[in-house]
Structure 1
Amino acid sequence: MIRTRFAPSPTGFLHIGGVRTALFSWAFARKNAGTFVLRIEDTDLERSTPESVKAILDGMHWVGLDYDEGPFYQTQRFDRYKDVIQQLLASGHAYHCYMSKEELDALRAQQEANGEKPRYNRMWRPEAGKTLPAIPADVQPVVRFKNPIGGSVVWEDAVKGRIEISNDELDDLIIARPDGSPTYNFCVVVDDWDMNITHVIRGDDHVNNTPRQINILKALDAPLPVYAHLPMILNENGNKMSKRRDAVSVVDYAAKGILPEALLNYLARLGWGHGDEEFFNMEQFVEWFSLEAVSPSASRFNHEKFMWLNAQHIKAADNQRLAGLIADRLTAANVDTRNGPALADVVALVKERIQDLNALAQEVDYFYAKREPQAADVEKHLSGDSRERMLRFADQLAALEAWTAESIHELFKPFCAEEGIKMGQLGMPLRVLVCGTTQTPSVDAVLALIGKEEVLRRLRG
């Protein structure tokens, strides 16, 4: 049974790198009829906050990545971690270290001054024939894992291929702090073991954690999961995405009018591909997904391509759903849609031209109240006898028995011939007078939706 997990730390917002990790873990589980677990890694008690937990849960709900088990919280499992630490101490795979923080800082400073890699010198590591120093009375010990000396940790990464790291590069990891609280790398191991995680799919910033975690699992005689480290997402300049420069929070994208399925679609294409397919839904993604198709190279976020993809999903979305998604935006802009055409019908007409929900909300306002036109548009399109011509056209509109886009359209050609004008000399003044803008869909369809009485009022007003 395939079991994957998404294990964010609640020390901030849910960022898009995390969402892609969750997406790939979720898709792999769904593809293989497995289980997707959500785990909140909140051992950093100083930085973890309830607000961040809520942001993670809300973000997962917004993008629609449903989990089968969880959320599990590490802070609720401290007794289990302490039991396993005692197990490692009893088996000789861990030991108490009484080196104070000041001593450790001094040691590292001296090593750096000597041009050496700063690391713990294993002073308190018990070895055959070694005499340990006298235990100081005023130091609360940490617990360190007794990392193997010599040899290498080797694993076949499902994305990056064979990775080998020498044990001599690894410190004796602290697995419990002086107050007895367990550390991140240790908790992860116990969680993955207890939760029977078969595939650890995560960002490649965790590659250096993997050999330490593998050694702990081996010491516990626990099964090793398959590791798959996903490439980093870079911004358009090729730099690591940051909160200061880039929109990286899921909340940011929701506020910018992005559809969740568009965000997932685009994130799926960052580091993974299925032929030339660009626009697809999550059912298709699950069907096509494999870890073998994930690239080990970093991907750049292309904003223009992302917005194009969002536009495609807006075009494909249900009109009633889109109407619901922009309702709050319209309320905030004081647009009252109660006395006018059905919002879903307006959305159906204008969405072909739109790239995000904010623009969609801005595009529908003139269906419910005429915009104040720009002075330049008035001067260009309503000068001379244009206003009198619009009054004459209003009389023809008033005479229509059937108020449809087709019947309105049938008036255009004969009216232009009678007035001796081109279609643009009718369409543009109509748009400016009725809508307050020159940028609209087909003017006949726009007039039909606004309604006969309101169109005549705006033309004659």
Structure 2
Amino acid sequence: MNQKVRVRFAPSPTGPLHIGGVRTALFNYLFAKQHDGVFVLRIEDTDQNRYVEGAEQYIIDALNWCGIPFDEGPGKEGSVGPYRQSERKSLYRQYADALVEKGKAYYAFDTSERLDFHRKDHEAKGKTFIYNWHNRLKLVNSLSLSAEETQQKIDAGEDYVIRFKSPKDETLLLQDTIRGTIRIDTNILDDKVLFKADGMPTYHLANVVDDHLMNISHVIRGEEWLPSLALHQLLYNAFEWNAPEFAHLPLIMKPVGKGKLSKRDGEKMGFPVFPLSWNESQGYREAGYFSETVVNFLALLGWNPGTEQEIFSLTELISSFSLDRVNKSGARFDPDKTKWYNQHYIKEKANDELADLFRPILLEKDISALSFDNDFVERVVSLIKERATFVSDFWQLSHYFFTTPEHYDEKAVRKQWKPDTGSIMNQLVSILEDITDFSSQNLEDRVKQWITDNELSLGKVMAPLRLLLVGALQGPHVFDILELIGKEESIKRIEKGIAELG
């Protein structure tokens, strides 16, 4: 790869960033970093009617949260800015005019009403109206009019657009890194509008001009842009510019059924489709997912590392990623797999970091930070995180460390509380009162020795003990619970349970 790698992510600020867009950004980022290149963010806001306030900042915040920040873009100006297309408006007209001068584009004065008439007329005859080589000389444009007539219309202030003049009877060979060679018959292409009557370029012209001026070496984008590839290549040819290398990523498909993943799928099945919350739609961050989870599962949607490895850090992804191993076919989204990834990253995270995330939940539950020091909360987290999918699960898994049980699981009581259980638990209290080293291992040794000496079964002691400490048959190792809540609280809970359960 001789030239400097420069890639771009070019979203439109028309709403929140879908995770399909995040994956496109991620693949661009990985490719750039692997080749010591530059990742550019360009905001394609030429369609001012669809512009949504706050969407651009949302895109930037989402990339930053995912840990894939751009190198150049709005607020990080490089030498080829500005990076918002609306601020580059004055650039595009000269390129549209240059194509007209070269005979590669033309002025079209057809009114929307007239074009609508042609479409309906074709539909009535069972045909599709395409504005191109077979009818352009019958329509109102600078190809069918004389130079004088054309100038008169321009001077009179008539609205017009600039259309690309698609070639006739050519076979276009397009190269895509993921899909190989694509053959296109140019006779089926329409003469796309490049410059609109409102003085703004269309996506196609602005996209190609900007990619050229920003020295973009590789265009890595979603499969939905594949139909535009022929026009874009023809524009590069018309300008006599070298085209970047193209790679069109596969779609992210619904968990069940056909079609690509949509916001509606998430709402119906209860999972996010946006990285961050937007209005009423919950994001992955707010749903309790870690950014590492999102990056990891998105990387493996459409890319195959060629091994059985499923867990990748961002550093590992940068070194392993290859466009050659991106699939052509769509990648099915699996909500359960995303939870599996989050479960993994919870286990991997440091206890102090998880404790910091857990503390606000404790405060919501009226658990005073003064009552339980940092070390206590971290030790609780260390015992329960293996069973958690989200930090929001922590309270359900650990409430008994912070509060004495008020109730006991009725089904467990019926099964575990026998006529002699109260007497056995009273004996256990006497044993615990005599133990000074209240560490988990010492407690286990002493209690199990007592069980053996008295020819009791583990089941007659351990399950009722857990029930009295926790209120249910759940939780980590019983002796870890005893150690952490301490001797005084442990005995208090056992005696309370004996009194309540008889």
Q: Same fold (TM over 0.5)?
A: yes
Q: Does the alignment pair 1:276 with 2:308? A: yes
1:115-148 CA-partner distances (Å, limit 9, x unpaired): 2223224324434897878849684212222233
Which residue of structure 1 lines up, in the alignment, with residue 347 of structure 2? Answer: 315
Q: Does the alignment pair 1:102 with 2:113? A: yes
Partner SS for 1:46: helix
- Alignment partners' CA distance in 2, 1:383 and 1:42: 72
1:293–1:141 CA distance, 2 compared to 1 (3 A) = same
Which residue of structure 1 lines up, in the alignment, with residue 262 of structure 2? Answer: 242
Aligned residue identity for 1:62: W
Which residue of structure 2 lines up, in the alignment, with residue 364 of structure 1? Answer: 398
Is the Cα contact below 8 Å between 2:9 and 2:42 reproduced in 1? yes
1:218–1:376 CA distance, 2 compared to 1 (3 A) = same
- Using the size of structure 1 for normalisation, the TM-score is 0.92
Which residue of structure 1 lines up, in the alignment, with residue 320 of structure 2? Answer: 288
Aligned residue identity for 1:38: L
One of 476, 481, 488 as aligned partner of 1:453: 488
1:145-164 CA-partner distances (Å, limit 9, x unpaired): 22333313322211111112
Which residue of structure 2 lines up, in the alignment, with residue 195 of structure 1? Answer: 214
One of 237, 240, 246 as aligned partner of 1:218: 237
Is the Cα contact below 8 Å between 2:110 and 2:141 reproduced in 1? no
Partner SS for 1:50: coil
Which residue of structure 1 lines up, in the alignment, with residue 332 of structure 2? Answer: 300
Is the Cα contact below 8 Å between 2:302 and 2:330 reproduced in 1? yes
- 1:284 shift after superposition: 1.2
Partner SS for 2:54: helix
1:397-423 CA-partner distances (Å, limit 9, x unpaired): 233222211122123313333565432
- The residue correspondences of 1:23-422 to structure 2 (distance < 5 A) are 23-71=26-74, 72-120=83-131, 121-122=135-136, 123-127=139-143, 135=153, 139-239=158-258, 240-246=260-266, 247-251=272-276, 252-274=283-305, 275-340=307-372, 342-371=376-405, 372-382=407-417, 384-417=419-452, 420-422=455-457
- Alignment partners' CA distance in 2, 1:53 and 1:236: 29
1:45–1:330 CA distance, 2 compared to 1 (3 A) = farther
Partner SS for 1:164: strand
Is the Cα contact below 8 Å between 1:391 and 1:460 reproduced in 2? yes
User: In terms of mean alpha carbon deviation, does 431-440 or 222-231 score higher?
Assistant: 431-440
- Alignment partners' CA distance in 1, 2:395 and 2:178: 42
Is the Cα contact below 8 Å between 1:4 and 1:37 reproduced in 2? yes
User: In terms of mean alpha carbon deviation, does 428-437 or 187-196 score higher?
Assistant: 428-437
1:281-303 CA-partner distances (Å, limit 9, x unpaired): 12111111111111111111223
Which residue of structure 2 lines up, in the alignment, with residue 439 of structure 1? Answer: 474
Which residue of structure 1 lines up, in the alignment, with residue 77 of structure 2? Answer: none
Is the Cα contact below 8 Å between 1:412 and 1:423 reproduced in 2? no
- Using the size of structure 2 for normalisation, the TM-score is 0.85
- Alignment partners' CA distance in 2, 1:89 and 1:165: 24
1:55–1:382 CA distance, 2 compared to 1 (3 A) = farther
- 1:440 shift after superposition: 0.9
The runs of 5 or more residues in structure 2 that have no matched partner are: 75-82, 267-271, 277-282, 497-502
1:265–1:452 CA distance, 2 compared to 1 (3 A) = same
Is the Cα contact below 8 Å between 1:4 and 1:200 reproduced in 2? yes
- Alignment partners' CA distance in 2, 1:233 and 1:93: 36
Q: Does the alignment pair 1:10 with 2:13? A: yes
Backbone CA RMSD of aligned residues: 2.5
- Alignment partners' CA distance in 1, 2:285 and 2:366: 21
Is the Cα contact below 8 Å between 1:9 and 1:42 reproduced in 2? yes
Is the Cα contact below 8 Å between 1:159 and 1:295 reproduced in 2? yes
- Alignment partners' CA distance in 2, 1:51 and 1:129: 45
1:88–1:222 CA distance, 2 compared to 1 (3 A) = same
- 1:70 shift after superposition: 1.0
Is the Cα contact below 8 Å between 2:250 and 2:330 reproduced in 1? yes
- Alignment partners' CA distance in 1, 2:192 and 2:354: 52
Partner SS for 2:182: strand
Which residue of structure 1 lines up, in the alignment, with residue 78 of structure 2? Answer: none
User: In terms of mean alpha carbon deviation, does 389-398 or 179-188 score higher?
Assistant: 389-398
Is the Cα contact below 8 Å between 1:143 and 1:177 reproduced in 2? yes
- Alignment partners' CA distance in 2, 1:250 and 1:98: 44
- Alignment partners' CA distance in 2, 1:58 and 1:334: 32
The runs of 5 or more residues in structure 1 that have no matched partner are: none
Is the Cα contact below 8 Å between 1:31 and 1:287 reproduced in 2? yes
- Alignment partners' CA distance in 1, 2:145 and 2:112: 27
1:54–1:124 CA distance, 2 compared to 1 (3 A) = same
Partner SS for 2:49: coil
- Alignment partners' CA distance in 2, 1:48 and 1:185: 18
